Each structure stands twice: as C-alpha cells, then as structure tokens.
Structure 1
C-alpha cells in the first residue's frame, strides 16, 4: 500500500529539473565571452510534462498569472544548441535569452516549492487532527 500519492515524487522531479536548468543557465552566462562555447539547454520528457501538469492542480484566476501548462518541455537531457552563432567568436550564448530563461525558471521553481509547501501543510493538518 502506498502511503502518499505520486505527487511528492513528481514535485521532487520538478525541483530536480529546475535545479538542472539553473545550473545550465549559470554555465551559459559564465561562458558568454568564451570563444567557440555552445550554449546548452535542459529538455523535459513529454511524459514527465504530462504527469507534472496533471499533478499540479492550479488554475489561473487572472490572465496575467503564470500558466502552469507552458513550462519548458523529464529531467533531464542536457542538449547543446549547435545551430546558433551570436558572436564573431562562434559563441552561441544569447545573454538576453539566458536572463529571460533564468527569470522563467525562478517563477517555475517558486510555483513548485509553493505547491510542495502546501502539500506538507496539508499533511501537518491531518497529523494534528485538523487543529
């Protein structure tokens, strides 16, 4: 018998993805001036994305809120972006895109940690008997 649903494992995988994404973005930013450096990215498996979307029971109450369904496509395959060249030194890091990805990843991380915190608060409430 399983004590908990797969939600905790799914949220753990989401945190691992976000951590990997942050590391890759940091490496890209650190190598923005390195000649011949090819930017990297982290890709999620489609099945993981579907499972994650199903486990996060959130809805937008305003069109300006973050849409949970548009997260980058499981942890995690790190891929090299070979088709781009932004500098004369054959470096493919676009600093504006990396900063944008970092902000998006931060929002994603905050949403997942908030959901995980809510799950733990629910468990605490059950353990205390609703008090």
Structure 2
C-alpha cells in the first residue's frame, strides 16, 4: 500500500489529459489559416465512456470471481471531419479555441495546485510536523 493512495496517480492522469488537450488546442490555433484543416478535440467524456465499455485484465484466484478482458484504451484526439467554419474548408473557430484554452489552463492549474498540496503534506509528515 502506498503512503498517498491513488490520488497522485489520478492527478497525474488528469495532467496528462490536460496536456494532450492543450496540444490539440495549440495545433488548432497554429492552423487557423490552413485551408481544409479540421479542428481537433480531446473529449474526456467520450474517452471515459469508451473505457467503461472495455474490460481490464486481472488475475482470477477463484472461478467464482468476475472474468476480466484485456482491452486497454488510450485517450485519443478526434477531429471534426464534417465541420467547416470558413469558405476555404477550415474548421477552426478561434473564439471557441481561446475559450477552450482558458478553461484547460484553469483545469491544469487546479490540478498542479492540488498536487503541490499533496507533496506539501508528504513533506510535512517527513519532517515530523516541523
């Protein structure tokens, strides 16, 4: 059993998701003037639903235990293939991208603050409360 439980691991996964989403938003903004470019998105809700429909592999010690599968999913980046925002076929809405970037930055900063709090608590325990 770990000292901090699974909290730090979950925060790390949240940071990875936010980082992937930030890269997709940055790529969209960078390609604002590229003809026929389709905007990309990282959708956490869709990724979570995909994972919930899949199984996790595990060792069964008894035949009465539930069986597990072996499918694992990686969060993915999807694109809006049929969406066209401008006449040249570009599918990037700059206002939406800037709003998504701001929301993602707030989410990322909240995760970093929480992670710093966890490490601060561990540091306090290691020092004996001094």
Alignment map for 1:1-131 (pairs within 5 Å): 1-44=1-44, 45-46=47-48, 76-131=75-130
1:81 Cα offset (Å): 1.1
RMSD: 1.6
Q: Tell me, yes or no, if the aligned pair for 1:22 and 1:105 is still in contact at 8 Å.
A: yes
**Partner Cα distance (1:119, 1:46) in 2:** 25
Count of aligned residue pairs for this structure pair: 105
- What are the superposed Cα offsets for residues 41-97 of structure 1, whole Å, 9 maximum, x if unpaired? 0122337xxxxxxxxxxxxxxxxxxxxxxxxxx962100112321100111000000
Where structure 1 has 5 or more consecutive residues not aligned to the other structure, the ranges are 48-73
- More displaced 10-residue stretch of structure 1: 4-13 or 113-122: 4-13
| Maintained 8 Å contact 1:38/1:80 | yes
**Runs of 4+ off more than 4 Å:** none
Gapped runs of 5+ residues in structure 2?
50-72
Match of 1:68 in 2: none
Deviates further, 74-83 or 108-117 = 74-83
Mark the structure with the bigger radius of gyration.
Answer: 2
8 Å contact from structure 1 (residues 13, 75) kept in 2: no
* TM-score of the pair, normalised by structure 2: 0.76
**Does the 8 Å CA contact 1:17/1:75 hold for their aligned counterparts?**
no
- TM-score, normalised via structure 1 length: 0.75
